[in-house]
Amino acid sequence: METLSTPARVFATTVADRRACAPGVVVLSLSAPELGSVTRPGQYVMAIPPGGERAGTALGIYEAGDGGISLLFFVTGSRTAALAGLRPGDALDLLGPLGNGFDLSGDPRDVGIVAGGVGIASVLLPAIALRRAGARVRLYYGARSAAHLVEAERFAGEGCELLLATDDGSAGHRGYVTELIARDDAPGLLLACGPSPMLRAVGRLAEERGLRAQLSLEETFACGVGGCWGCVVPVVRESAQAPSFPPASAGGSDVVNARICKEGPVFWAHELRW
Ligand SMILES: Cc1cc2nc3c(=O)[nH]c(=O)nc-3n(C[C@H](O)[C@H](O)[C@H](O)COP(=O)(O)OP(=O)(O)OC[C@H]3O[C@@H](n4cnc5c(N)ncnc54)[C@H](O)[C@@H]3O)c2cc1C
Ligand code: FES
């Protein structure tokens, strides 16, 4: 994959708006014009929770523009709870934009975006970029129940076709979101973000049907900047994302470890050996 990272630094931002899009799900809009202008689809930030005594938490960049960015997050633990307590006017430091985002080169015309759970936060920017380039975009969106399918209308407003799945059948197809792709005419390219079992299923489906697929991997990051090697995933050595350090052993394996936070989080499915 072409390297799609941009230089990262700490941005001192201010909360411009806060809204709850569902119980326990918050969208924070942050004034950070410079960050908004350099962000690429699929990149993320490390948000440093108020007080600074806890480690940063990785959050996908949901929206980006001239005025700044927004973050969409589910309150799952102490750090996201602290972020949910922020109000307009409060300060928040962000390290970013981080990671290699989605590769949208080649002018793809028919794209399937696959999102599960919190993965929805990382796929609005590629959806907007593709729609503005005139591509057909189908959003395959899966969650536990209708209440957990957040912001689907935001994607519809951008001209994406919605295909919904829930575990309990309260909205759309009852079952896995990947079952919806399997029974559809295949998009030429799949972009996916969500829990690992969903990503593995997308990777298998792509292989079976000869589709190209990019997967944005979910992992718990410690440093988030490539320093601790605590987030590795095996990739083929010939991948453009294979790191040059540490050097591979002479005559060794054709698989090397890449850091999800640094070389990823987005990888071509066919280059992963996980
Ligand atoms: C690149 C990247 C982008 C992300 N973007 C978003 C985003 O845009 N919005 C969002 O809501 N979350 C996102 N996440 C997940 C988020 O970083 C974690 O959920 C984070 O641990 C929350 O911190 P916490 O202290 O609130 O909860 P914690 O106390 O760390 O965790 C609470 C619960 O969530 C589970 N958990 C922790 N990390 C993950 C994970 N990565 N995936 C699934 N479950 C997890 C834990 O097992 C635990 O049960 C992203 C993660 C990565 C790696
Ligand atoms: S979290 Fe430290 S290298 Fe990725």
Residue 25, domain CATH: 2.40.30.10
User: For residue 140, what are the β-bridge partners?
Assistant: 114, 163
Residues 64 and 86 placed together within one structural domain of the fold? yes
Of 265, 100, 130, 232, nearest to 190 by C-alpha is: 130
Q: Which domain holds residue 85?
A: 9-98
Q: Please tell me the predicted confidence (pLDDT) of residue 183.
A: 82
The position carrying tokens 């102490």 is 78
Q: Pull the structure tokens for residue 125.
A: 């920017």
Q: Is the pLDDT of residue 53 over 70?
A: no
Q: What values do phi and psi take at 259, rounded to 5?
A: -85, 125
Altogether, the residues listed in the chain come to a count of 274
Q: Point out the domain boundary residue: 39, 67, 98.
A: 98
**How much is the average pLDDT of 171-191?**
92
Asked if residue 270 is part of any domain, the answer here is: no
Residues 71 and 138 placed together within one structural domain of the fold? no
Residues 125 and 208 placed together within one structural domain of the fold? yes
Total structural domains within the chain? 2
Residues 156 and 70 placed together within one structural domain of the fold? no
Mutate which of 220, 262, 267 for ligand 2 pocket (most atoms within 8 A of beta carbon) = 262
Asked if residue 42 is part of any domain, the answer here is: yes
Q: Is the pLDDT of residue 16 over 60?
A: yes
What's the CA gap between 265 and 194, in Å, rounded? 11
What single-letter amino acid sits at 130?
L
Q: Is the CB of 220 under 6 A from ligand 2?
A: no
Asked if residue 120 is part of any domain, the answer here is: yes
Q: Is the pLDDT of residue 153 over 60?
A: yes
Residues 119 and 201 placed together within one structural domain of the fold? yes
Residues 15 and 74 placed together within one structural domain of the fold? yes
Residues 156 and 75 placed together within one structural domain of the fold? no
Asked if residue 159 is part of any domain, the answer here is: yes
Q: Which ligand is nearest to the CA of 80?
A: 1
Asked if residue 1 is part of any domain, the answer here is: no
Kindly report whether the global pTM for this prediction surpasses the value 0.75: yes
Q: Is the pLDDT of residue 3 over 60?
A: no
**How much is the average pLDDT of 55-82?**
95
Q: Pull the structure tokens for residue 185.
A: 């005419």
Residues 26 and 114 placed together within one structural domain of the fold? no
Atom 39 in ligand 1: which residue has the minimum CA distance? 220
Question: With pLDDT > 70 as the criterion, what percentage of the chain qualifies?
Answer: 94
Residues 21 and 89 placed together within one structural domain of the fold? yes
**How much is the average pLDDT of 72-80?**
94
The pLDDT tens digits for 205-242 are 999 999 999 999 988 899 999 999 999 999 998 999 99
Confidence tier at 182 by pLDDT (50, 70, 90): confident
Asked if residue 35 is part of any domain, the answer here is: yes
The pLDDT tens digits for 95-127 are 999 999 999 999 999 999 999 999 999 999 999
Residue 228 backbone class (left: φ over 0; alpha: ψ -120 to 50; beta: rest): alpha
Asked if residue 135 is part of any domain, the answer here is: yes
